[in-house]
Structure formats: C-alpha cells, structure tokens
Structure 1
C-alpha cells in the first residue's frame, strides 16, 4: 500500500472543499476501500474521513424515513422504525457480508462500493474498470458470478450490495450535497450500467457527498421478503438475489415492487414484472408469469447460464414468501 495523507474535517463544507482536489478519496467505515488499497487497486493520495459529520441519524421524514449516510448497516438493520415500516431493508442488510462488517460499513459506503469481480482485484489481468481500455478478462475467463442483464463488451461484473437492491425496490431517494447546493436523485438512477465507461460506477460527482437516503411510506410492510441465493450461508456475494414486496387486498395484488441483485452492474429493477402483477391474484400462476417477464433480455456467458434458470426460480420463491404462501 502506498503512503497517503489522512485528514478528518469537522464540517460538511470542509469535506466538500477537500474532496474537490485531485487524488482524494472519502473514507467512512473503509470496509471496501481499505481492501482495495491493500490490493493496490486503488491508491489515493489523501483520505478524507467524514465520521465527524452528523449523518448517523434515522429519523421520520415528511412521508417516510430519513437514513443518514453514516448510519451503520447493523444500526439500520435493527432499527425499530426500519423493521416495522421497511422490513425488506432490514432483511437485505442482515443478508449482507458478516456481522463484523455490518458493524463497520455505512449506508453511504455500502452504496459507493465498487462493482467488481476477481479480475478487478488481479492487477496482472486486464480490467477496463481498473485501467480503462485495457480489456475485460472475465469475457473469455471464468465468469460464473457475472451479469446476465445490462452488460457490455467492456465489463460484465455485478454490483454486490444487498442493501441497495432493497433500496431500489423501495423507491428510495438519495440526498446529495455539493459546493453548489443539494440535489435529490432517485436511487434507481444512482448506479450506472457499464456501457463504454465501466470505471464509472455511479452518478455521484467527484466533489459531491451522500448525505442520506429517504424511503417513502408504502403499503408493503406486511408482504416483503429478501431472498439471497449464494454458495455459502454467510459472507458471500449473491449468485442471484430478489427483493420482493407486495400490497395485497383480499387476495388481489394492488401493487408490487421487485429488484434483483447478482445479475447486473447495478441493482436491477423489474418494472415490467411489477406491472404484470397488479390486479392479479397472489398465487403461483401470477408469480411464475411475472418471473418469465422479468427474465426477458437476459444473456448468459460461458459459465453462468445456470442464472437463466436460477433467476426466475428465485423471483417466484421470493414472491411466494412475500405473499405468505410458504
């Protein structure tokens, strides 16, 4: 790891001024960044520690819940308001990483973790995310964990966060601060597909800071489920995950929210599948039809064709759990 400077500003304005300079990188919990620095994948000249900022609160918003960017994953997962109003988020957080990491990782840091695969870590292999226009080792390499949606010939890595899949399904909004003021961004627009610039993971500018996420009130608390399929029971990225939430009235679906993880460069929202469920009975036939719609456009690579079957099966099972049928 190369030597670097470390500063800990006490105000938001000081942070914004510091990160606007070249070679700087924000650090909060450091659970992803420090790992990448140890591997020599990222080598910032200066780390800007933002832990002095008052961004840890979980408080009611006008019509929902405000979660500060520095709130710990473990704190959010066990918060009474989250568990009562947005259990989908609590389930997703508890499915992620390990207890030790959840006690360090922050909401903002979780969102900002790099979309990556083993070729990103291996500095002897080509990786367009690490070195633009160097090639993608995964395309012709071992690509069992890789994308089936939204990939490009520049990158087929998948975004690893479980929390973000739930936030995408819950129509969350990201609150962002910059030197020119604040802005709000739909969570589904925060992360990016690889296209020709896979090195750019999200739409946060270099001189901007995540302040919080806000989740609007909804009617999905009673019928929510997060299902994560992985190679081992803990501390493993998803092969496929599904965040499913239903608003059911007398057996009929009035609204639905669906998103997948482990399948794309960003959390993959299933809007067409959601629409197909509205007005339908909450039964297996409706769920299987939605799962087939959700998989339209999926494309497998040499080692991950199993995701074409695992994907719809996981969607169907998650919806069954959400509806209380299993």
Structure 2
C-alpha cells in the first residue's frame, strides 16, 4: 500500500516521504483493519514529525492520529468508523489499524472529512469545557485560537452549552471565520489588547472559563482577565512557549488552572470517551456542531497539509482524503 513515512525527524515537508510498497498492516487481537477514507490533520502530527510530541513512535513511522475509515474485514466489515490509528502506522496511508473498542460509529450526517475531524478536537473541547471546567449556561467563555481546529470546536460547543463566547484570533481572515462559527464577540489580538477587550465586554468581571491551546502570552493575558472563581483550562502550547504559572496570583485572584490531556481518558476512563462521542453524535445530528473543514487535499499532498497546520496558516481543519 501507499503510506507516508518519517525516517528522520524534521519539518513535515522535508521529513515525510510517500512510499509505495509499505506492507499492509495485519490486525491483531481486538483490532480492526480499515481503509482510510479521510484523515484530519492535527498539530500533534507536526510535533510528532519534529520529535517534539510526548508520544514518539520508533522510526520509521507513518504520522496521522485521526481518521474516518471503512472496516474491511470481520464482523464490522463495511462499517464507517472514526478513531485514532494504532501507531507507528498512522492515518496518512491507504490502510490503518484501529483498536476495536475505540473505533466509534461515524455520525451519519457528516461526510468523511467532517467525521474524521469530529474526534480529537471535539472530544478535547468537550472534556475541557464540561469535565474539567464545568461550564454553565450564561457564563462567559474565552477561546484562544478560535479559528483553529480545536478552538473552532470549543466555540461551537460553548455556544451549544449556552455560554457567551468571546473568540480570540490572529488576523482579520481568522476573525471572519470565528464570526461564522457563531462567536458572540471576536477579538483580533493583532489589532487590540484582548485582555482589555474581555474586561470591557464583561463589565470588568472577566471570563468565567478560558480555553487555552496556545500558552505563552495567551495564558499570561488570560490570568489578567479571568473572573473571580474562573477556570483556565490549559489544552496545549501551540505558541511553543510553556509559561510558568504564578500560583500566588491564582491564590490572590481566586481562579483555577486546570490541565487537560485528553488522551489519558482513553486509558483511564474509556466509558467517558464513549459517552462524549454519543453526545457529540447527537449534536452533529441536530446540526448544532459541524467541523469546519477548510481544505480537503489528496493523499499525495499530506506533507503539505501537515506543514500548513505546523506553520499556523490554516483555519478550521485540513483533511487528507483517501483514494
């Protein structure tokens, strides 16, 4: 089969190579072989190719941590499913393996590209907002990188939860995307100070919940505009800057700093992941959430797709289509 492989770590466009004679994976006990119909690109894909992610598969490996595929053998043959492929054989290939217990039915209303993009980003946002932060109707939710993959999911899920959503983005093009997603207020951080904008919009109270996949200045600024008893959920560090939290500041202002590593739930509480998938499927069926797919590229352009996400040049989700 054809599959993209990384034999040396580096930038995606340089390190990824499309190989035409990779052996098709063989499912072991409890695994499913799927034909990849679509693979959504995630920022961790770029980090993995660079050797900067917490998961470091042995070389050579095929990147791609999220897919929609069709089961090709066994009792579930023909079923359309979504999930995380079993590394080192990732999703940027013609075939991949999924653990059967974590292969969820793809929501019918979503096409392959949308279904592939529903899993990691929306699960992350759902757990951040509901499991970790306990977001309540009427609260103010501040979402950083709101036009990106996981940020766009947080905007939609925040709206679905009845929150007032303030979206922070970098540039007018991304601001337009955030407005289309339904954010109540969009702040272009390249033009104005987002902390001042949040304080003004909330009458000085600040945001009850902050969704932060960026780190760096986004986190530091959030500590200055988080509400009394507010919750900052740290989801990632797309800026490359891991800030040192001033715990004395959290004490004085009475706010919480919460970490979220969604992948841990797959091993520690898989039933919670299934329950979240079922709720997300219902929301997708009702048209309340729908992944924003900004680009659909063929398998031959997977390296370009990962590089685009790595460089921060994408909005919504970039998806590599199966052939």
Q: TM-score, normalised by structure 2?
A: 0.27
Whose relative contact order is higher, 1 or 2, with alpha carbons under 8 Å and at least 6 apart? 2
Specify which structure has the higher proportion of helix: 2
